[in-house]
Amino acid sequence: MHVAALQMVSTPRVADNLAQALVLIAEAAQAGAELVALPEYFCLMGQRDADKLAIAEPLADAAAPDAATAPLQAALAQAARQHRVWLVAGTLPLLSPEPGHVFNTTLVYDPEGQRVARYDKIHLFCFDDGERRYNEAATLTPGQAPTAFWLTDRAGERWRVGLGVCYDLRFPELFRRLGQPDALDLIVLPAAFTDTTGRAHWELLLRARAVENLCHVLAPAQGGLHENGRRTFGHSLAIGPWGEVLAVQPEGPGVVMARLDRQRTQDVRRQLPALTHRVMQG
């Protein structure tokens, strides 16, 4: 299955970001991608963390999102339908019952434009090195439920796909949970890793998750200097089940294409059946 991780350097302007996302989706589809994934916060990297509250949408109807009340969801569903791709739509803010907070949500659309999965980011990033400070819990409500879904590719093969977002990458137990009872074939992890933490840990952690779960990983990222002064690490990656890097883009907007091979996964799991050797299942 051909897949694409879309890398962006999103701005404080939703319309500009959406326009670029749609261009990149079209480019990936034209190149043959069956699954396309946007980065975290693809729609907005605001001047302030609270800016996302102003654009939060209610969860729209799965089959027919209303463009008046949920314009981002309507545009994403239309893009999936128009290009006949599975679309993992990065993250966008959805309304939360908690005042002054939103969910940081990944939505997944099938090639008919139907929403087939929702994942609210569970682990909220907090970092303070004396110069840079981030605390997502100030504006985000954490999700509660791990989420995976099944897709059928154009060759008729079924893939079990687990979802994570950015900071979730540091919690391997999430992906172990997603791999039960059915082992994952692919992890898709939209992100906006900071430059500081990305240089230290991004590729290391992604390759570790691939090796631990003997599955492919697709990680679309924000990558560059944003207008709000924040620098994200980029290096959107596709990784094979042995931890090998299949494709990468260090910085700037673009499409990272890769071909994922189910036979490769089966061969690796046969040669090293580590998933069947687990003793501690909790």
Q: CB-based burial of residue 80 (10 Å sphere; 0-12 exposed, 13-18 middle, 19+ buried)?
A: buried
Helix axes 14-30, 71-83, angle to 10 degrees: 10
Q: Does the active-site annotation cover 40? A: yes
User: Are 252 and 223 within 8 A, CB to CB?
Assistant: yes
Q: Does the active-site annotation cover 27? A: no
Q: Which of 34, 43, 52, 121 is catalytic?
A: 121
Please say whether the dihedral angle defined by the alpha carbons of residues 152, 154, 157 and 162, taken in this order, is positive or negative: negative
CA distance 2 to 211: 20
Q: Does the active-site annotation cover 52? A: no
Q: Which of 34, 40, 57, 203 is catalytic?
A: 40
Q: Which of 43, 166, 215, 251 is catalytic?
A: 166
Q: Quick one: DSSP state of residue 110?
A: -
User: Are 219 and 237 within 8 A, CB to CB?
Assistant: yes
What SS3 state is found at 244?
A: coil
Please say whether the dihedral angle defined by the alpha carbons of residues 174, 213, 169 and 73, taken in this order, is positive or negative: negative
CA distance 105 to 95: 10
Catalogue the active-site residues. Answer: 40, 121, 166
